[in-house]
Amino acid sequence: MDKFDTLQLFTRIVELGSFSQAADQLGIPRATASNAIKQLESHLDSRLLERTTRHVRTSLDGQAFYERCVQILSELDDAESSLRHVVARPRGVLRVDLHGVHAMHTILPQIDEFHARYPDIELVISSGDRLVDLVREGIDCVVRAGKLHDSSLVARHLAVLPQVICASPEYLRRHGTPQHPDQLASHQCVNFFSTAGGVNYPLELIVNGKVQAYHLKSWITVNDAENYVICALRGGGLVQLPRYHLENALRDGQLVEVLTEWQSPGMSVSALYPHHRQLSPRVRVFIDWLISLYRVRFPPHPDV
């Protein structure tokens, strides 16, 4: 392995805490990874990694060397991105994590367009609602909806999604249709919680120019958007989701929108990526493509 590849390997081992996982991500044999690090340590005359049967962690020298490696690799990426032919035709592996709903409804249905535009980029896409550790898992970019909490990441705004509150006809037949937000206290909802924080999200409406939160009674709580919709369809209670996710159910009468005289706050969608990858040509072109994709799918509202 050349010096550049060895530095990349070393940083991945530190971030993953594993020789095997780092070797798998870089597509090299475990023995090759081990030998490369041994040669690096011999060349530097310093022990960089402390190995046990289960864990790999940096020594004091190794941690200092890791921090310099991250800086060097970032600067190399910056230098590479300054070359016109690289910017025009970026190449390599791009690891992306997508919220399942956005993957299914917005991004993957158009992903062939991205490939046609950038055929030399190999996409590796994971999908789910869990919070991923971008650095540890080697993820270049994630797409997430809702409020952003991790200030260590760079965020690019993609869209604001209009939301609605709705329920099944059966639920409304049994419990009545709320005519005013004050009546929500006597209703049930399907609770939704985040695996990151574990807190149930309330229903929200803009009342007298301010966002008001309503915590309703509930007999079922989920943390997956598709399960959230299924529970609503089965009469579990009121739910609040972006309108695009419910278009078919609303059109077919499987769900009925309520409290239409009050606006739901829009749900913000952003692309997030680590600071040290912000100049990567692969990340840059992918996020630029996402911005144009979401702009067409969800045109900005005049009031936003």
Per residue in 8-46, pLDDT tens? 899 889 888 889 888 888 889 989 999 999 999 999 999
Tell me what the mean pLDDT of segment 188-216 comes to.
87
pLDDT-wise least confident of 47-56, 61-70, 259-268:
47-56
How distant, in Å, are the alpha carbons of 64, 113, 172, 219, 232 from that of 225? 42, 26, 21, 17, 11
d(CA 116, CA 104): 19
pLDDT in the model for residue 289: 96
Decide if pLDDT at 109 tops 50. yes
Higher pLDDT: 204 or 52? It is 204
pLDDT for 84 equals 53
User: Where are the CATH 3.40.190.10 domain residues in the chain?
Assistant: 87-160+268-297, 163-265
Which fold is adopted by the domain 3-81?
Arc Repressor Mutant, subunit A (1.10.10)
Q: Which of 98, 106, 158 is nearest to 126 (CA)?
A: 98
For 25, residues 6+ apart whose C-beta sits below 8 A from its C-beta are 12, 16, 138
Give the per-residue pLDDT at 153. Answer: 81
Class of domain 87-160+268-297: alpha beta
Mean pLDDT of the region 203-224: 94
Q: Cα separations (Å) of 99 from 126, 144, 224, 272?
A: 9, 6, 10, 12
pLDDT in tens, 155-178: 899 999 999 999 999 999 999 999
- What residues pair up with 49 in beta bridges, in sequence order? 58
Residue closest to 218 by CA, chosen among 201, 230, 206: 201
Distance CA 47, CA 34 (A): 13
What does the pLDDT read at residue 304? 46
Q: 163-265 — its CATH code?
A: 3.40.190.10
Q: Which residue has better confidence, 278 or 94? A: 94
Q: What is the mean pLDDT of the chain?
A: 86
Q: Is the pLDDT of residue 145 over 90?
A: no
Q: Is 266 left (phi over 0), alpha (psi -120 to 50) or beta?
A: beta
Sequence-ordered strand ranges (E) for the chain: 49-51, 56-58, 92-98, 121-127, 141-145, 153-161, 163-167, 191-192, 203-207, 210-214, 221-222, 239-242, 256-257, 267-274
pLDDT for 266: 93
Average pLDDT over every residue of 129-142: 70
Please tell me the predicted confidence (pLDDT) of residue 130: 59
Mean of pLDDT values over 77-83: 64
Is pLDDT at 74 greater than 50 in this prediction?
yes
Query: 144 versus 265: which is more confidently predicted?
Result: 265
Is the pLDDT confidence value at 252 over 90? yes
pLDDT tens digit sequence for 270-286: 998 887 644 578 888 99
CA 131-240-218 angle, to 5 degrees, is 85
Residues of the chain with CATH 1.10.10.10: 3-81
What is the predicted pLDDT for the residue at 85? Answer: 53
The DSSP output letter for 298 is S
275 SS3 class: helix
Q: Look at residue 83 in the predicted model and tell me its pLDDT.
A: 61
